[in-house]
Structure 1
Amino acid sequence: MSVSQCLYRVVVSNLLTLYYSIQVLFMFALVYLKNPFSNPWAQKLKLEPPARLTDPKYGVHKYIKVNSTVLHYVESGDSSKPLMIFLHGFPEFWYSWRHQLVEFQKDYWCIAIDMRGYGDSERPEGVASYKIELLIEDVRDLIKQLGREKCILISHDWGGLIAFQFRNQYPEMLIGMIVLASVSSTAWVRELWSNPEQRRQSWYVFFYRAPILPEKALFMNDLAIYEKVMLFPGKTSTDKEDIECYKYWFRRPFAITPPINYYRANFRFDLPEIVEHTENVPMLVAHAANDLYLSHSLLDTLKKEYTTIETTIVDNCSHFLQQEEPEKVNKMIRDFLSKNNI
């Protein structure tokens, strides 16, 4: 990559970060002008967790120290069966896999973690604590600490970025891999800089590079963002009680900064070359038909990266597909596992 190309991306990125920050400041001003005596950032902390977070049907809550970081996880199923690890996305935590834990616990040893910085897991300080190199080592050490050499890795959104990088570095530790609404870092960065539509869809990635403002924007009106993105009109798979489970954790002081630091720590200005990965790791990548954040053309780049890959698009569904269409997604996962004798 030439110096001029790198400089171009630095300038464009900074301009976009500034542009979206100004838009958000303008929104803040409108909110204030409409009601100057209100406080849209008033804290509404609740001491007792919603009952659903401790429902035993999802499993047992445990803690484990991996890669010098204490992670919280929910365990269900028989530990003598194949290990199935779930990696959530942004802005979620283990609870985003509630439907899958109930579905797969009878056939697999299911572990749904709160990734570092999320939920009841430890929140290391500093942006550098969320570099993807550390995140994949969390997964590697988790598998080892659980006494296994291999696992089935199921991931969504940011969890998928970690899963792809983990697969690239430790393919021998995977029995199979399912990725929902996500993509490899290589495919995403290349699409970001070559496809204006993907750049527009990724506006929040540029905005999250700014200090303080992203936290303020997400925290507004008692985390109203959750109602906006996780209540699906005409569908009952997620309701207001589920939203309260998310808000219980993210209402806490400083709970939003570590998840946003995933973006800050891993933003790239380079244009990585496509490296073909030929290891025989069964892999399914599913995107949602109505995803507002990912272009389906990303799947074409993934097919150039991985020789063993299946891709599909889930109809009538948006980005949080395992929560919006759990029955459809569970069947898709089970069919893939059965087909590959996993």
Structure 2
Amino acid sequence: MGGFELERVGLSTGIALNVALAGSRAEPAMIFLHGFPESHRTWRHQIAEFGQDHFVIAPDQRAFARSDKPMAVSDYKPERMVADLAALADHFGIDRFTLVGHDWGGVVAWMAALRLADRIERLVIINAPHPLIFQRSLFDDRDQREASQYITAFRNPDFEQHVARIGLSAFFDSSFRPHADLDAMADEKPVYLDQWSQPGALTAMLNWYRASAVIVPGIDEISDRPAFLDAPFPALPMPTLVIWALRDVALLPCQIEGLDALIEHFTLTAIDAGHFAPWQAPDAVSAAIRAWLEAAG
């Protein structure tokens, strides 16, 4: 693994990001967006694979690792990260690109596909819920609602005090225990703890949840249903591959139900892995992307 360089990139949005770069800038561009609570290292296997024949760009998104960490909750509205994405592509003189997103990076990718459709040539989503289906599932699927209660916990303004009491090491263990083999992550743990201990990092990362407009009712709460859940929703025009790891305990398989009606050119690949599929099942993820790209020509 490896084979990439890190560059600090100042964007027109006023944010500077730490960015992993690989491959020739003359090749087609692929931009990879990680999620919570990670960094460009989410994609360490895919960077090596696709850097062979693409110009790969994998930023630490705002709040994460060595990228800037503005402290206002409003700095983490999803449209801010979509603007970062567009500015990042502009910085490298890229008009159209393949966009790959996982977890929160996938949420940004869904929104970017809706707002920047003329720039995203192809879209790859890995275990990240479509905004309509996710919000609908939080009203209609009790299991998903129950699995998503952690979002309410992360939004609690006292959550940082909880982490301070238990320590970052224990927070690491509790964050990954439902999703990954902690023994297999032993070598990675110091990397995460270093990133999370950067000044302001924990609050900035949690602000992604606090800025989100997603409504997470309590398990037995009766909430007013947003009208948009039952209204027409625009379909994405670009070819889209969704890779879904079926052992994800945070985002349940209900998230892939109905996607075909929201994407004009839709491919679904299911794999046997947990939520953090890009590094839990890197060969399966990379092979699915590679096969799909080659089929598209």
Give the match for residue 263 of structure 1.
209
CA distance in 2, matches of 1:214, 1:122: 19
Residue aligned with 1:281, SS = coil
Bigger share in helix: 1
CA shift digits 1:227-275 (9 cap, x unpaired): 4527844x99x53222211111112342111111011001334353454
Change (3 A) 1:225 1:327: farther
1:215, distance to aligned residue in structure 2 (A) = 5.8
What are the residue-to-residue correspondences of 1:144-293 with 2, within 5 Å?
144-214=90-160, 216-217=162-163, 220-227=166-173, 229=176, 232-233=180-181, 238-269=184-215, 270-273=226-229, 275-293=232-250
**Bigger CA radius of gyration:** 1
Does 2:292 correspond to 1:305? no
Amino acid corresponding to residue 286 of structure 1 in structure 2? I
Q: Which amino acid aligns with 1:164?
A: W
- Is 2:66 aligned against 1:120? yes
Q: CA deviation at 1:84?
A: 0.7
Partners in 2 of 1:292 and 1:217 — Cα distance? 22
| Residue matched to 1:329 | 285
Q: Which moved more, 1:205-214 or 1:274-283?
A: 274-283
Distance 1:245 1:277, change over 3 A: same
Residue among 66, 76, 86 paired with 2:32: 86
2:19 to 68, 73, 77: 73
SS at match of 2:188: helix
Which residue matches 2:218? none
Deviation at 1:218, TM superposition (A): 8.0
Q: Give the direction of change, closer, same or farther, for the CA distance of 1:329–1:268 in structure 2 (3 Å limit).
A: closer
Partner of 2:4: 59
- Amino acid of the structure 2 residue aligned with 1:314: I
Residues 189 and 271, structure 1, Cα contact 8 Å, conserved in 2:
no
Give the TM-score, by structure 1 length: 0.77
Q: Distance in 2 between matches of 1:216 and 1:188?
A: 28
Most deviating of 156-165 and 217-226: 217-226
Deviations 1:290-331 (A, max 9, x none): 10111212212322222222122211x100011101111111
Residue aligned with 1:152, SS: strand
Cα distance, 1:187 vs structure 2: 1.4
RMSD: 2.1
Unpaired stretches in structure 1, ≥5 consecutive residues: 1-54
Point out the more displaced range, 100-109 or 57-66. Answer: 57-66
Rounded Cα–Cα distance in structure 1 between residues aligned with 2:15 and 2:170: 30
Residues 312 and 75 of structure 1, relative CA distance in 2, 3 Å threshold: same
Q: How far has the Cα of 1:103 moved from its partner?
A: 1.1
Whole-Å Cα distance in 1 between the matches of residues 251 and 62 of structure 2?
A: 24
Aligned equivalents of 1:206, 1:325: Cα separation in 2 = 29
Task: Kindly provide the CA deviation profile for residues 59-106 of structure 1, in whole angstroms up to 9, marking residues without a partner as x.
Answer: 111111221111110111100001111100100011111111111111
Counterpart AA for 1:324? Q
Give the Cα–Cα distance (whole angstroms) in 1 for the partners of residues 164 and 124 of structure 2: 29
Distance 1:215 1:74 in 2: 32
8 A Cα contact 1:276 1:304, kept in partner: no
Partner SS, residue 224 of structure 1: helix
Larger CA deviation: 277-286 vs 95-104:
277-286
* Identity value in percent: 25
Q: What is the distance in 1 between the residues matched to 2:139 and 2:169?
A: 31
Q: Which one-letter code corresponds to 1:308 in the other structure?
A: H
User: With structure 2 as the length reference, what TM-score do the two structures score?
Assistant: 0.89
